[in-house]
Each structure stands twice: as C-alpha cells, then as structure tokens.
Structure 1
Amino acid sequence: MKKNKTIETENSVVDFLARISEKKRREDCASLIALLSKLSGFEPKMWGTAIVGFGIYNYKYESGFEGNAPLVGLASRKNAITVYIASTFDEKETLLSQLGKHKTSKACLYIQKLEDIDISILSQLVQRSIERIKELYPS
C-alpha cells in the first residue's frame, strides 16, 4: 500500500526558518508559526523538510488509504507562504472573502505577506479548520 511521504520528523523548525533567504518572508513565517502554535495549542514540528505542522490527526479514506497529518501547517514555497487548512468547513468562503489578498486551492491558502491579510480573519479560518478536522477525525 502507498505510504504518505510527508511525515513528522525531528528536523529543526529553527533551521527551517534559517533557510528562508528573504528576511521579510522569514519574519512572516516566524510570526505565523507563533500564531498557529497559539491557536492550535501545539508546538511546531517539522513534517518532511519543508512543512511546519501543529498537532496531529489520523485520517482514513474510503479507499483504505490512511495516514497522519498536522491539524494545521505552513510552508514557505517559491511563490507564497502556504497555510494548510481543511478543505471545507462552515463559513470558509465568507471568511476568505474578508481575508484580504490571497489565493486558494482545495486545502491550501496562499499569501504573499502578512500585511496583505487580516490576521483576525486568518485566526478564525484556522480555528474553524481545526474544529472541522477534529469533528471529521476524532481521536
């Protein structure tokens, strides 16, 4: 059976931040790490080499594929900071319309810099996302 490639590791979050060459992006990621840690109640952990995750849940799809994932996470990608949230939850679209400058895909929120968004709206998105994941995948 196929295995999940992105798993929790012992890699250093500090080293992850140090590898971000652009100072502003590094500062924004550090601020987001502090915020996501506060909102989730979990310390940041590396998932693979490029995702900072908070908390953990086990999922199992109808196909039988299962694995673990962080409740919420972030990565510094080439074109944006990516925040990983649940794909669907109550008020997601309404909150996204109030967030500010961003792009989305199914379970990813892409932002360029923190000044582009409303942090209080991001906080609500993250909280609702975590609530939905816990509802779908109770431990």
Structure 2
Amino acid sequence: MAEPKTQPTTESLTSYLSRIDDPARRADCAAIAEIMTKVTKKPAVIWGTAIVGFDTYKMEYANGKTGDWPVLAFAARKNDVTLYLSKTVMDEEDLAATLGKAKQEGGCLHIKKLTDVNLKALQQLCARTAKGKEA
C-alpha cells in the first residue's frame, strides 16, 4: 500500500497562518491553534498543505496497516474552518447542545466564525478528543 498523501511537513504555524487571506479567518485559526496546543500540550504540525495537527495516534486502515495521524486538527477552508475531532466525542449530546452555530459531519465540525460557537464547549470537545487519543 502506498503511503498516505497527507504527511507531516516542516512548515511553521506562522507560515501556514500567513497564507490565509481573510484576517478574521486567520485570527480564528490562530485562536483554535491556541486551544488545541493548550489541551494537547503539543506544538502544531502542518500536514500536507492544508491541515494543522496536534499530537498523533496510530490509525489502523481497513487493510490492517497503521499510520500516524493527528489526534486533533483543523484546516482553513474557503467557506469555513473545519475541525477534525473524535466522532465519539462529537456524538456526546451534552456538548453538542451548547456548542452554538456549527455544522457537524461525522468527526468534522465546520465553523463559519469562531464567534458563532461557545468557546468553552469547543475547548471541552478538543480536550475530550485529546484525552481519548483518537480522532
């Protein structure tokens, strides 16, 4: 099996953030990076060209092979910021009910603006994902 296309790079978080044209989205991404650094106690690592990841775990593919993947991650997309969290944690109703305006798809959380969500609930989602060490 070929290696996954998305691999860790040596790009810095500062460099990644500087590539985000929208100042508000850049600020939101910097704040999300701060939250994820705080809960994982790990520095940001840029995976491929678009994903900012924190900490790693061994993910098992359908064929039985394993590979490293970020425990927590986010990506600045054209229309939103996508956070990659644990689907198990995302399904917990207590936090989902208090999160605010965000779209959930599996383990992905799509946020238009950070001001649309409850930051305390978001930090708890990130912390629970980090504690479980699975995305």
Residue 11 (structure 2) pairs with residue 22 (structure 1): no
SS in 2 for 1:126: helix
Distance 1:34 1:3, change over 3 A: same
Does the 8 A contact of 2:90 with 2:107 survive in 1?
A: no
Distance in 1 of aligned mates of 2:6 and 2:87: 18
Distance in 2 of aligned mates of 1:32 and 1:90: 17
Distance in 2 of aligned mates of 1:84 and 1:91: 13
Does the 8 A contact of 1:55 with 1:70 survive in 2?
A: yes
Aligned residues: 135
Q: Which range moves more in the overlay, 4-13 or 100-109?
A: 4-13
Distance in 2 of aligned mates of 1:5 and 1:60: 16
TM-score of the two chains, using structure 2 as the length reference: 0.91
TM-score of the two chains, using structure 1 as the length reference: 0.89
Percent identity between matched residues is 37
Alignment-derived partner of residue 57 in structure 1: 57
User: CA RMSD for the aligned pairs?
Assistant: 1.8
Distance in 1 of aligned mates of 2:4 and 2:92: 27
| Shift, 1:91, TM fit | 6.1
Residue 101 (structure 2) pairs with residue 86 (structure 1): no
Alignment-derived partner of residue 77 in structure 2: 77
Q: Which runs of 5+ in 1 are unaligned?
A: none
Residue 12 (structure 2) pairs with residue 12 (structure 1): yes
